[in-house]
């Protein structure tokens, strides 16, 4: 890895989000980089509520959270909480108000299974559940959320995840490589093409993705294409949607717009630059 990625793919109206909150990505310790995309840190102090929207990546996240007008507690007497957030299938919406802090861990697609090897990753898809139901020992929210120093928060995340002792898994590595291929190679447009490149049957590919990624390869292909379409819609007021549809492997413009609208909730034209 060359450090955390700098793109804003998946974030709806990223400039507005960055105007409302302090958002950073940080690189994990070397021993964790084979499994993690990055850490993501958010702090806010708002005079008016703000609602953020995200088209999720095909990644599981571990999220340490603290909400409250005083920046201190999610609930009275609570030092914060940690949850595992499986892959979100639809648009993710979060209302932020007052003061708060979030420290998140975004696993690489396929990289979560070595930390929780007992269950297929598909079991977490579409679910959010307390981290202590997934990991032993339980995740310590206060250790991560309390430090005022950002480096100390990153160090606490490193220490906790390294203590879980993820074991190298060739199948996880294979799944991560396949998702990276889908993300970076626009010529991979169909599950059958991906299976043929890897010398796998489509059924074997489906099983690998269910066990290690959490969603099927067709879903991953579609999600990355929608991310690209969203980024284009927000940055280019003169998008040629017919040409983009062909570029992304769609049979026609209408098909792309239907998928975009179903995923994001509004048509692409709603995200034209203001």
Give the pLDDT confidence of 26-85 residue by residue, as tens digits.
Answer: 999 999 999 999 999 999 999 999 999 999 999 999 999 998 755 443 443 457 999 999
pLDDT greater than 90 at residue 265? no
Q: What pLDDT does residue 110 have?
A: 97
Q: Looking at the structure, give the CATH architecture of the domain made up of residues 170-271.
A: Orthogonal Bundle (1.10)
pLDDT greater than 80 at residue 273? no
Q: What percent of the chain has pLDDT over 70?
A: 94
Q: Comparing C-alpha atoms, which of 202, 71, 203, 82 is closest to residue 133?
A: 82
- Contact predicate 263/91, CB 8 Å: yes
User: What is the fold, at CATH topology level, of the domain defined by 14-163?
Assistant: Jelly Rolls (2.60.120)
pTM value surpassing 0.75: yes
Q: What pLDDT does residue 78 have?
A: 59
The residue that leads in pLDDT, 238 or 182, is 182
Question: What are the structural domain ranges in the chain?
Answer: 14-163, 170-271
The residue that leads in pLDDT, 89 or 73, is 89
pLDDT greater than 80 at residue 211? yes
Q: What pLDDT does residue 205 have?
A: 96
Q: What single-letter DSSP state applies at residue 175?
A: H
Give counts: helices (H), strands (E), the chain.
9, 8
Question: In a 10 Å sphere around its CB, with 0-12 CB exposed, 13-18 middle and 19+ buried, how is residue 110 labelled?
Answer: buried
Q: What pLDDT does residue 189 have?
A: 84
């Amino acid at each position: 890895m060359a450090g955390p990625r700098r793109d804003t793919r998946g974030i709806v109206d990223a400039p507005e989000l960055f105007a409302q909150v302090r958002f950073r990505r940080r690189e994990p310790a070397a021993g964790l980089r084979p499994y993690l995309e990055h850490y993501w840190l958010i702090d806010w102090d708002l005079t008016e509520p703000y609602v953020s929207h995200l088209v999720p990546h095909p990644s599981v996240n571990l999220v340490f959270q603290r909400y409250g007008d005083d920046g201190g507690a999610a609930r009275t007497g609570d030092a914060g909480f940690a949850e595992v957030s499986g892959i979100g299938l639809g648009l993710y919406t979060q209302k932020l108000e007052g003061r708060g802090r979030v420290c998140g861990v975004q696993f690489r697609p396929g990289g979560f299974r070595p930390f929780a090897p007992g269950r297929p990753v598909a079991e977490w898809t579409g679910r959010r559940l307390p981290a202590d139901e997934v990991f032993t020992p339980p995740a310590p929210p206060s250790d991560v959320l309390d430090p005022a120093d950002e480096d100390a928060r990153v160090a606490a995340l490193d220490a906790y995840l390294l203590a879980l002792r993820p074991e190298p898994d060739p199948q996880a590595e294979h799944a991560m490589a396949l998702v990276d291929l889908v993300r970076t190679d626009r010529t991979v447009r169909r599950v059958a093409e991906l299976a043929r490149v890897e010398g796998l049957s489509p059924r074997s590919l489906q099983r690998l993705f269910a066990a290690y990624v959490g969603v099927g390869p067709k879903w991953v292909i579609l999600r990355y294409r929608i991310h690209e379409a969203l980024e284009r819609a927000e940055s280019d007021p003169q998008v040629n949607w017919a040409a983009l549809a062909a570029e992304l492997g769609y049979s026609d413009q209408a098909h792309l717009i239907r998928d975009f609208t179903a995923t994001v909730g509004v048509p692409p034209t709603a995200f034209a630059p203001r």
